Amino acid sequence: MNWRYNDSSWAGAPRSFGSAFLYLLGHLIYSGVAFVSIMAVAWGVEFAIHELNSIYPFDLDEAGLIHKIQVFALAADTFIVCIFVLAGIIRFIKDLRKLL
C-alpha cells in the first residue's frame, strides 16, 4: 500500500457536491448538539442556583455576580458555536473549490 500524505483523498476530501454538503450538514448538526449540551449544563447550574437561592437567599451583590456569570457563559457558548459553524462553512467552500 502506498501512503501519500499530499493526496487529497487521504485527507478525506469529498468527491462530489453531495458529499461536501453532507460534511457541512454533519458539521452543523454536531455544532447544534454542542450548543444544546452546553446550554443544558448551564440550565442545570442555573436551576441549582435558583433552588439554593430559595433556601438561603443571596445578597444583591452575589445575585448580580451570578447573573453576570450566566450572561458571560451564554455569550461564550454562542461565540464557540459560531466559530464551529464558521469552520464548517470554510471547509465547505474549500471542498467546493477542490471539486471545481
Instruction: Give pLDDT tens digits for 40-96.
Output: 888 888 888 888 888 888 888 888 888 898 889 888 888 988 898 898 888 888 888
Give residue 97's pLDDT: 85
On the 0-12 / 13-18 / 19+ scale of CB atoms within 10 A, 95 is: buried
- Reported as a single tens digit per residue, the pLDDT across 14-52 is 667 888 888 888 888 988 898 888 888 888 888 888 888
Distance CA 16, CA 77 (A): 33
Tell me the pTM: 0.65
